[in-house]
């Protein structure tokens, strides 16, 4: 099991190195290799999650580590889709580094948590899957935002160099960022609404965690803050023309909060989501 658990991480790391060479030297062959490695990583990860599902009899979404693993898998999948449809590999380095970093924890703890009775609802699976998909979209938006700012600064300072030669146009980065935020917002909304419905269903459960399901819980509160930020980002882009640099900063900042909510809050602070 240990070997299978580490395989996605190793492949993500290999893909990150290949993307690094591709980005640094603009070597097309390295780029193709990177895509192939990332594809194999996602495939190995699919296999791992499939094995865990078969072994446990349910989707491995219980607990922050398992959710992290599913998030990494989804981000890999979403990014591959974007790369293959746009034929643009410049973002690969940033995404694969993020994937590699986040894949460490799941690789260290590959076991599947038993599913407490509380979570035996299809609503739970949809809730977690929708939110993780939203997070994957936001991660992509964050990477796009960061690269937008890097390129923006080079052009503004009239010092055309490293990123100028490697990144697509500001317009492309901005449009992709907008799309990623929109898709992420839709899934986050879906996930939050379903989570709310589910919370009312388990209201009578004796589980202390069910009792802690309230807006006062840090995890739920910060998730709603995130929803508010992305709602604002969408609104600002459409209604008051906050595209470009402002939208880029906003999506980068919002994702930092998403990540904080996902990891430290998920592991240490929440009393409602500590499965």
Partner 1 sequence: MRLYAVGISHRTAPVDLRECVDFARGGVDAALEALASRGLGRELVVLSTCNRAEIYAVTDAAAPADAFGRFMSEYHGVALEAIAPHLFAHAGADAARHLFRVAAGLDSLVVGEPQILGQVKEAFAAASDRKYTGALTNRLFHAAFGVGKRVRTETGLGEGAVSVSYAAISLARKIFGDLRGLNVLVLGAGEMAKLTAVHLRAQHVRQLTIASRTLASAEALVARVGGRAAPWSTLANLLTEADIVVTATGAGEPVLTRARVEEAMRPRRSRPLFVIDIGVPRDVEPSAGNLDQVFLYNIDDLQAIVSENLARRSAELQRAEAIVQEELTRFAAWMQSRGIIPTVVALRQRFEAIRQSELARLEPKLAGLPPEARARVNEITHLLVEKLLLTPTEQLKTVSDEAMAVAYADALNRLFALGGDGPAEPAAAARGRGEKVPS
For binding to partner 1 (CB under 8 A), which residues are involved?
28, 151, 155-156, 158, 160, 164-165, 168-172, 240-247
User: By CB neighbour count within 10 A (0-12 exposed, 13-18 middle, 19+ buried), where does 156 fall?
Assistant: exposed
Minimal distance in Å, beta carbon 115 to partner 1? Answer: 47
**CB of 3 or CB of 158, closer to partner 1:** 158
Contacts of 192 (CB under 8 A, 6+ apart): 131, 223, 224, 227
Nearest approach, Cβ of 21 to partner 1 (angstroms)? 13
Which CB, 208 or 241, lies closer to partner 1?
A: 241
Q: How far apart (Å, rounded) are the C-alpha atoms in residues 124 and 191?
A: 9
* CB within 8 Å of 159: residues ≥ 6 apart: none
| Cβ neighbours around 44 below 10 Å, total | 20
Q: How far is CA 188 from the centre of its chain?
A: 12
| Cβ proximity to partner 1, 198 vs 230, nearer residue | 230
> In whole angstroms, how close is the CB of 170 to partner 1 at the nearest point?
5
Q: How far apart are CA 231 and CA 229, in angstroms?
A: 5
- Shortest reach from residue 169's CB to partner 1, in Å: 4
Minimum distance from CB of 171 to partner 1 (Å)? 4
Instruction: Give the nearer residue to partner 1 in terms of CB position, either 155 or 197.
Output: 155
Nearest to 250 by CA among 153, 144, 154: 144
Please identify, using beta-carbon distances, which residue of 121 and 243 lies nearer to partner 1: 243
Instruction: Give one DSSP letter per residue of 98-119, joined into a string.
Output: HHHHHHHHHHH--PPPP--GGG
**Residue nearer to partner 1 on the CB measure, 63 or 168:** 168
> Whole-number minimum distance, CB 27 to partner 1, in Å?
8
């Amino acid at each position: 099991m240990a070997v299978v658990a580490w395989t996605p991480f190793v492949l993500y790391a290999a893909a990150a190195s290949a993307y690094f060479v591709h980005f640094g030297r603009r070597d097309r062959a390295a780029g193709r290799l990177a895509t192939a490695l990332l594809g194999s990583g996602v495939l190995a990860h699919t296999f791992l999650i499939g094995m865990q599902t078969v072994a446990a009899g349910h989707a491995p979404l219980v607990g922050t580590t398992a959710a992290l693993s599913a998030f990494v898998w989804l981000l890999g999948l979403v990014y591959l889709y974007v790369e293959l449809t746009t034929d643009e590999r410049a973002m690969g380095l940033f995404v694969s580094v993020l994937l590699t970093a986040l894949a460490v924890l799941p690789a260290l703890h590959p076991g599947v948590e038993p599913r407490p009775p509380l979570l035996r609802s299809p609503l739970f699976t949809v809730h977690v899957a929708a939110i993780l998909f939203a997070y994957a979209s936001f991660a992509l938006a964050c990477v796009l935002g960061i690269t937008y700012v890097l390129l923006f600064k080079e052009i503004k300072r009239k010092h055309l160099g490293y990123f100028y030669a490697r990144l697509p146009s500001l317009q492309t980065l901005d449009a992709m960022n907008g799309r990623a935020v929109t898709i992420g917002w839709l899934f986050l909304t879906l996930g939050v609404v379903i989570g709310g419905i589910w919370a009312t269903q388990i209201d009578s459960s004796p589980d202390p965690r069910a009792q802690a399901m309230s807006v006062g819980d840090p995890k739920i509160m910060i998730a709603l803050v995130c929803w508010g930020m992305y709602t604002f980002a969408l609104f600002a882009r459409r209604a008051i023309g906050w595209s470009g640099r402002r939208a880029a900063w906003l999506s980068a900042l919002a994702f930092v909060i998403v990540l904080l909510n996902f990891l430290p809050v998920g592991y240490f602070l929440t009393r409602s989501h500590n499965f």
